[in-house]
Amino acid sequence: MQTESLKKRRRNITIAILCVITGLLFALPLLGLSVYFMHTLIGVFIWIIVANSLRLLGLSGQGSIGHAAFMAIGAYTSAILAKFLGWSPWITMPIGVLVTVIVGFLVAVPFTRVRGIYFTMVSLFFGIGVLAINQVFNKWTGGYSGIISIPRLFAYVKNPYYYFCLALMVVCLLIMYRLEHSRIGLTWKAVAQSYSVASSIGINEAWQRILCLGVSCTFAAIAGVAYAHYYVILTQETFSFNTSINVFVYMTVGGAGLFAGPIAGTAVLLIIPEMLRDLREYVPFVYAAILLIVLFLMPQGLAGLPAQLWQLIRRPAKAKLTTSDDKAGKRAP
Amino acid sequence: MNMILTSTVNGLVLSAIYILVALGFGLQLSIMGIFNFAHGAVYMIGAYVTYGLSVALGLNQWVSLLISVILVGASGLFLEKFCFRPFQNKPTHMIVMAIALIMILETIVEVTLGGVTRALPAFVPGIFKAGSISVDNERVLAFAIGAVLLAAMTFLIQKTKIGQQMLAVAQDAEGAALQGIDTHRIAATATVIACATAALSGSLMATIFSMNPFMGDNILLKAIQVVILSGIGSIGGILVGGLIMGFLNAFLPVFINASVGEVITILIVLGILLVRPKGLFGYELF
Amino acid sequence: MIRQVNVLLDISGLTKNFGGLIAVDHLSMSVGEGQIVGLIGPNGAGKTTVFNLITGVIRPSSGKVEFDGKNVTGKSPHFLASSGIGRTFQLTPLFTDFTTLENVVASYYLHPRSGFWDSLFNTPTYRRNEAYALEQSLKILDLVGLGKVKDERAKNLPHGYQKMLGIARALAVQPRLLMLDEPLGGMNTDEISFTMDIMAKVRSLGMTILVIEHNMQILDLCDHVVAINFGQKIGEGSVEEIRNNPDVIKAYLGEQNVA
C-alpha cells in the first residue's frame, strides 16, 4: 500500500511541475521574451502537436512517415477558402480540420488493410501523393511556389499568436494524454500487440486502427491550419516528405515510448539549431551530431534520459547501453 | 513518332539508372533487412567525388569515376559495420541514422563545393545516329553500363559461391548463420556492391541530367518504388520493375503532364502495396 | 446417453479446403449448455483449424456453425466474441507488453462497454465501468492463481503462468462458451491438475467448455468427447465409449498410449 501513496505523490509532483512550466510559458512574453524567440517557440508548439499525434498513431502499431500530408490538407483547405472566398480564418480553420478528418477516415479504410512496414510504405506514398495532387491543381494551390498572403488570424503582432498556439498545444496534449491513458488507448495498445488476441476479446481491430488514424490526423490538421494562418506562406516544401521524416525524427529522438518523448525531441531539435544559427551552413552537422548521440547513447530517447541516468546511479554495474528488448539476429518486421 | 522514339530512349536510360540504384537498395533490404534511406545520399556523393576529382582536380574523368566507385564502395564497409549493423532490428532507429548520414553528406558537399546545380561533362561526348534516331552517346553508355552490370549481378548471384550465400542470407539469416555462413561478411559485401553501383549511377546521372546535393532524395523515392513494384526480396524482378518505372517516368510527363504522371505512378505503387504487397515477383523470381 | 440439453454450439458439415488439402472434412458435432466437451485427436488432425473456423479466424469452405440458435458461420472473430464465445490460443496467448493485470483489464472490453466519449471525458459511467473491470480482473486473477504476479510483464511469466493468463483473459469476456486450445500443453503434473480444477470450477459457475487437447488426461473431466483424425470424425460418445473405440486407439498408436 505504500507504493500506492508513493505513486500518488509522484503524480501530484509531476502535475505541479507541469503547471509551473506551463505558467512560465504563458508568462514569458510579459517577462520580456524577444519577438524572435517567440517566433521560434510558436513553431515548437505547432510541431509538438504533430509529433505527439504521430506517437498517438503509433500506439495502434501504425508508423507513418507521411503525416505532414494531413497537415497539408487542412492547411491548404483553410488557406484557399480564406484567401479566395474571403472567409474569416476562424471559420475556415475548423472547416480545414473537418475536411482533413473526412479524408483521413476515407483513406484509412484501404490503408489499414496493410500492417507493419507495408503500412509505413503506404504512408510514405500517401504523403508524396498528396503533394503531387497539390501540383496538379496548381491553379488554386500555387503549385511549387505555393500560396502567399494567407489571411492572418490576428493583426501583425506576435503575442496573440504565441498565446493562441501555446493554448492550442496544451489543449491538444491534454486530450492526447487522456486518450492514451483511457480505455481507448488501452484498446489501441492491445491491437498493436496482437490482432488475433484483440479480436478474440471482441475488439474490432480494423475499425480501431481506422479510428486511431482518424483521431491522429485530426491533431495534425489542427497544427496545419494554425501553421497556415501564422506563417501565411505555404509552398511545396512546407509539407514535403522531408517534413514528414523530420517529425518522425523528432518523435524517435525524443523517445517514441514516452508521452513526453515527442515534446522533448521537437523542442531540442528545433531550439538548439536556432540557438546555434550563427554557425550557418554547419548547423546540420550539429543536428546530425544530436541524432547520433541519442541513437548510440540513449536507447529510450531524450525523454528517457532522466530514467537512464537514475538507473546508472542506482545500479552502475547493471546499466547497459542497449535496451533489454533486443532480440539478437531477428529481422525487422 | 519522334516523341515516341525519344521517350523510349529516355525510358531505357532512366530504367538503367533506376535499376542500378534499386539493385543496391534492394540488396541491402533483402540481405540485411534495413531500409537504407541514405542510399540516395551515397549516389549523390559518388557523383560529387567524380566531379571533384575530374573538374576540380583535373584528373581524367574515367579515372575519377573509377576512384569514386572504389572509394564510395569501400566506404560501404564502414557504413555496414558502424551505421547499419547496430540498427538492424530497429527500423525506426535506422531511419534516424539514415537522416543523420544524409545531413552529414549533404552538408559536406554544400560546405565544400556549394549547393549550386552543376553538370558533369559527358564521358563520351557526341551523338549516336542510327537511321532516324539520334541519341546522346552518354545515354547509350548509361544504358550499356546498366545492362552489363545487371548481367554481372545475375551471374554473381546465380553462379558464384558468395552469390549463393547472399541468397541464403536473404531468405533466412538465422538459418544461414547456423550453416556457417559469415553473415557479417555477406552484409559487408552487399553494402559495398550497393555503394559502388550507387556511385556509378550517380556519376552517370550527373552527366546526362545534372547534379546538386539533393539529387539523392528523388532517386531514393524512385528506387523504393521500383523495389515495391518488383517485390521486397526479389533481385531479378528489379529488372522488370525498373523498366516499368523508367518508361512510366519517360512517357507520362511527355504525353500527359509531369504532375498527373506522378499521381498515376503513385497510384500504381499504392495499388500494389494495398492489393499485392509482395510485389509483382515477391520472393519467387530468384 | 441422451440428456435433454440446450444445444449451445452446433456444427454441421463443416469443411475447410486449403487449395487441395482438406483440413476439415464435413465435421458435425454439438456442444450442450453446461457441458465440457473434448475434441481430441493426434497432432495434425485439424483440431485447431476447427477452432479457427468456429471463431471466425478463417472462413469455412462449406458447412454451418450455429451458436445459441443463430447462424454465425464465417462471421468475424470480434463478432463471435460479442456473441459470447471466448477462446484461448495455443501459441501466442497474450498481450506481451502489458502486465498480467493489464492483460485481463484490457479484456474487459465488451462487458461493460464504455463509449468513446464516455472514455474521453472520464464520465461517472466510465469510471464505474473501469472500477468494475478492475475489481473483476483481480477476482479472476485470484481464481486462476495469478494474483501474486499481477504487476509482472506478461512476457516475463513462465510458460504455465502464461497459459493460465490466456484462460483468465478468455474469462474476462464473460463468455457462455469457453473454447480452450490445448490448455494443458507444456505443463507439469501440478499445473495440469490445477488447470483441470479451474475448468471444473468454471463449469460449476455455469459456463460451457469446448476443449481441444492432445493429452488424454482431459478425458477425466469431459462429459462428451469427439475424436477426429485427418479432419474427419472418427468417434463420438461418452468417455468410456471413446476409450474403447478401436479407431481412436488406432489413431493414437504410434503417438502415445491411451490413458
User: Is the pLDDT confidence value at A1 over 60?
Assistant: no
Domain C1-84+209-259 is found in CATH 3.40.50.300: yes
Question: Tens digit of pLDDT for each residue in B2-19?
Answer: 778 888 888 888 898 898
What pLDDT does B276 receive?
A: 82
Q: Which of residues C225 and B231 earns the better pLDDT score?
A: C225
Question: Tens digit of pLDDT for each residue in A112-124?
Answer: 888 888 899 999 9
Dist CA C31 CA C35 (whole Å)? 7
What pLDDT does A2 receive?
A: 55
Looking at beta carbons, which residues of chain A come within 8 Å of B258?
135
- Per-residue pLDDT band at A320 (split at 50, 70, 90): low
Angle at C103 between CA C101 and CA C108, to 5 degrees: 95
Looking at beta carbons, which residues of chain A come within 8 Å of C126?
182-183
Which stretch of A304-308, B232-236, C18-22 has the lowest confidence by average pLDDT? Answer: B232-236
Q: How far is CA C206 from CA B119, C111, C141, C168, C170, in A?
A: 81, 17, 19, 16, 15
Q: Is C174 on the interface with A (CB under 8 A)?
A: no
User: Is the pLDDT confidence value at A326 over 50?
Assistant: no
**Arithmetic mean of pLDDT over chain A:** 87
Question: Tens digit of pLDDT for each residue in A309-318?
Answer: 888 888 765 5
Dist CA C1 CA B267 (whole Å)? 63
Predicted structure pTM score: 0.89
| Shortest Cα distance, chain C CAs vs residue A228, angstroms | 28
- For A178-182, what is the mean pLDDT? 93
Give the one of A175, A201, A204 whose C-beta lies nearest to C169's C-beta: A201
What pLDDT does A186 receive?
A: 93
User: Is the pLDDT confidence value at C149 over 60?
Assistant: yes
Give the dihedral sign, CA A286/A289/A294/A295: positive
Q: Is C175 on the interface with A (CB under 8 A)?
A: no
Residue A21 exposed, middle or buried by CB count within 10 Å (0-12, 13-18, 19+):
exposed
Dist CA B196 CA B70 (whole Å)? 7
- Cell output for A186: 488501452
- Cell output for B130: 542510327
Residue A331: count other Cβ atoms within 10 Å of its Cβ: 14
Q: Is A13 on the interface with B (CB under 8 A)?
A: no
- For B255-276, what is the mean pLDDT? 88
Question: Tens digit of pLDDT for each residue in C60-112?
Answer: 888 899 998 888 888 899 999 988 999 998 876 688 889 999 999 999 888 88
Which range of A135-144, B180-189, C76-85 scores highest in mean pLDDT? It is: C76-85
**Arithmetic mean of pLDDT over chain B:** 85
- For A148-154, what is the mean pLDDT? 69
How do C62-67 and C7-18 pair as beta strands?
Answer: antiparallel
User: Is the pLDDT confidence value at A231 over 80?
Assistant: yes
User: Is the pLDDT confidence value at A321 over 70?
Assistant: no
- Per-residue pLDDT band at B30 (split at 50, 70, 90): confident
- Per-residue pLDDT band at A328 (split at 50, 70, 90): very low
B274 backbone dihedrals φ, ψ, rounded to 5°:
-85, -35
Q: How far is CA B144 from CA A302, B60, B130, B139, C152, in A?
A: 49, 21, 16, 8, 62
Residues 120-149 of A with CB under 8 A from B: 120-122, 124-126, 128-129, 132-133, 135-136, 138, 143
Looking at beta carbons, which residues of chain A come within 8 Å of B91?
117, 120, 332-333
DSSP secondary structure letters along B187-200: HHHHHHHHHHHHHH
What pLDDT does A144 receive?
A: 60
User: Is the pLDDT confidence value at A302 over 60?
Assistant: yes
Q: Is A187 on the interface with C (CB under 8 A)?
A: yes
Dist CA C33 CA C55 (whole Å)? 18
- For C113-132, what is the mean pLDDT? 87
User: Is the pLDDT confidence value at B121 over 90?
Assistant: no
What pLDDT does B245 receive?
A: 92
Percent of chain B with pLDDT over 70: 96
Dist CA C161 CA C190 (whole Å)? 12
* Closest residue, chain A, to B96 (C-alpha): A249
Q: Is A179 on the interface with C (CB under 8 A)?
A: yes
Q: How far is CA A272 from CA A242, B108, C101, in A?
A: 19, 20, 42
Which range of A154-163, B77-86, B114-123, C43-52 scores highest in mean pLDDT? It is: B77-86
- For B108-120, what is the mean pLDDT? 85
SS3 of residue C153 by DSSP? strand
Residue C58's region, left for phi above 0, alpha for psi from -120 to 50, else beta, is beta
Which of these, A150, A154, A160, A174, lies nearest to A38 by C-alpha position? A160
> What letter does residue C245 receive in the DSSP assignment?
-
Q: Which residue has the cell 530512349?
A: B9
What pLDDT does A332 receive?
A: 40
Looking at beta carbons, which residues of chain A come within 8 Å of B96?
249, 252-253, 291, 294-295
What pLDDT does A139 receive?
A: 74
- For B182-191, what is the mean pLDDT? 88
User: Is the pLDDT confidence value at A152 over 80?
Assistant: no
Residues 76-95 of C with CB under 8 A from A: 76-78, 81-82, 86-87, 89, 92-95
DSSP secondary structure letters along C70-95: EE-TT--HHHHHHHTEEE--SS--S-
Give the dihedral sign, CA B155/B160/B162/B166: positive
Residue partners of B217: CB distance under 8 A and separation at least 6: A241, A242, B40
- Cell output for A325: 528488448
Which of these, A230, A214, A242, lies nearest to A97 by C-alpha position? A214
Which stretch of A1-5, A230-234, B252-256 has the lowest confidence by average pLDDT? Answer: A1-5
Where helices occur in C4-115 by DSSP H, the ranges are 47-54, 77-83, 100-107
Give the dihedral sign, CA C216/C220/C222/C227: positive
Looking at beta carbons, which residues of chain A come within 8 Å of C120?
175, 178-179, 182, 184
User: Is the pLDDT confidence value at C199 over 50?
Assistant: yes
- For A134-152, what is the mean pLDDT? 72
How do C70-71 and C232-237 pair as beta strands?
Answer: unpaired
Dist CA A57 CA B131 (whole Å)? 58
What pLDDT does A327 receive?
A: 42
Long-range contacts of A280-286 (CB under 8 A, 24+ apart): A281/B107, A281/B110, A281/B111, A282/B107, A282/B111, A284/B103, A284/B104, A284/B106, A284/B107, A285/B103, A285/B104, A285/B107
- Per-residue pLDDT band at A331 (split at 50, 70, 90): very low
Residue A29's region, left for phi above 0, alpha for psi from -120 to 50, else beta, is alpha
SS3 of residue C21 by DSSP? strand
- Per-residue pLDDT band at B286 (split at 50, 70, 90): very low
- Per-residue pLDDT band at A47 (split at 50, 70, 90): very high
What pLDDT does C1 receive?
A: 47
ipTM tops 0.90: no
> What letter does residue C113 receive in the DSSP assignment?
P
Dist CA C101 CA C257 (whole Å)? 39
A317 backbone dihedrals φ, ψ, rounded to 5°:
-70, -35
